[in-house]
A = this chain, B = another copy of it.
Amino acid sequence: MRAAVIHAPHDIRVEEVADPVIRQPTDIVVRVVLSCVCGTDLWAYRGVAEFDPGQRIGHEFIGVVEDIGADVMGCSVGDLVVVPFVWSDGECGYCAEGLTTSCEQGGFWGTNGSDGGQGEAVRVPCADGTVVRLPKEAVSDRRLLTALLTLSDVLGTGHHGAARAGAGTGTTVAVVGDGAVGLCGVLAAKRLGAERIIALGRHRSRTDIARTFGATDVVTERGEAAVEAVRELTRGRGVPAVIEAVGTEQSMWTAVQIARDGGSIGCVGVPHGSGTGFDLSDVFERNIALRGGVAPVRTYIPELLPDVLDGVIDPSPVFDRAVDLAGIPDGYKAMEERTALKVLINY
């Protein structure tokens, strides 16, 4: 079969690799029907995040169960399933608490010799804890299938940021970042009942989606000017619930500056470069909570899935480009150059 392999920064190739097979009785093999490229993949692509040269890549996919291990109870061959970006056993103490990203048997696609989501098939460990079945008819509904794909990462991650920031009925929420996660943060905040949602972003095509998703205000400025704009919108007070969906030192600084004293920042942008510049003094003086982290999206799927199936929320507009398997390198390039927001991969 063919799959994407990362050899070096800016060197992603689609190659012939071994077909996946059941190794553990809790494994399944999934034939991928739709996957995509994530902003997180770009950190490896840029050489900022570590990877093993030659490892597989991609962590968001929907597919059809092709083979199942002897102990798998939760799905059958032929089922359509969505797979979260971390596999998890569903049985350990962390999974029981809903923190599936800390699962003791868990792992991230592509690491330690595991398969990646950008390929024709994937061996999925801990299948019963990991995958969630979808209605089979969704496979022929392109828009719905695309919307469901976001359950594997960006929708659940946006929801994690919104929930940890404290978004709820009647709240004011700000979202730093207009990538797919930031946009899903807007959608999730709206779904949780936020009354006012301030989206910070510079790209018109993206902030237009933010408005579709529920943003009531858009701030296109950056740095000090962005902080001033948000403070003007909030009578100088700042925002009680901030979703940080970028992960750079600059975006983190912005999130802190626009937060209201006593507020919370739901951090879902993977930190990059914040090891040397984050000053705890400001959050301490103003009692701002830093919450969030790697989103346990598996936990959120049962809550979010019905609303996606019913069309209450439609995250599918975060995808604005599609490639086939051979086009994956072009997909990365487009996202890196910001000519695409998020790239679908067709099979």
Q: Which of A25-33, A51-59, A179-187, A273-281 contacts B (4 or more CB under 8 A)?
A: A273-281
Q: Is the CB of B274 within 8 A of A279?
A: yes
- Assess whether A306 is interfacial by the CB under 8 Å rule: no
Q: Is the CB of B284 within 8 A of A275?
A: no
Q: Is the CB of B284 within 8 A of A267?
A: yes
How far apart sit A274 and B270, CA to CA, in the bound complex (Å)? 20
- Assess whether A139 is interfacial by the CB under 8 Å rule: no
- Assess whether A237 is interfacial by the CB under 8 Å rule: yes
- Assess whether A290 is interfacial by the CB under 8 Å rule: yes
A window 252-279: CB within 8 A of B: 252, 261-262, 267, 270-271, 274-279
A256 to chain B, nearest CB (A): 11
- Assess whether A226 is interfacial by the CB under 8 Å rule: no
Q: Which of A2-10, A94-102, A168-176 contacts B (4 or more CB under 8 A)?
A: A94-102
Count of this chain's copies in the oligomeric assembly: 2
How far apart sit A296 and B287, CA to CA, in the bound complex (Å)? 9
Cβ–Cβ < 8 Å partners of A286 in chain B = 102, 293
A261 to chain B, nearest CB (A): 4
Cβ–Cβ < 8 Å partners of A271 in chain B = 279-281, 284
Q: Is the CB of B287 within 8 A of A102?
A: yes
Q: Is the CB of A93 within 8 A of B285?
A: no
Q: Is the CB of B93 within 8 A of A237?
A: yes
- Assess whether A294 is interfacial by the CB under 8 Å rule: yes
- Assess whether A283 is interfacial by the CB under 8 Å rule: yes
Q: Is the CB of B94 within 8 A of A262?
A: yes
A window 79-109: CB within 8 A of B: 93-94, 97, 99, 101-102
Known contacts: A94-B262, A294-B285, A294-B287. The answer to whether A252 contacts B278 by CB under 8 A is no
Q: A271-B280, A274-B280 are in contact. List 9 more A-B contacts (CB 8 A).
A: A94-B262, A97-B262, A101-B287, A267-B280, A270-B284, A274-B279, A275-B281, A278-B279, A284-B292
A-B contact pairs, 15 of them (CB 8 A): A93-B237, A97-B262, A102-B261, A252-B280, A267-B280, A274-B280, A276-B276, A278-B279, A278-B280, A280-B290, A283-B290, A287-B293, A287-B294, A289-B292, A290-B291
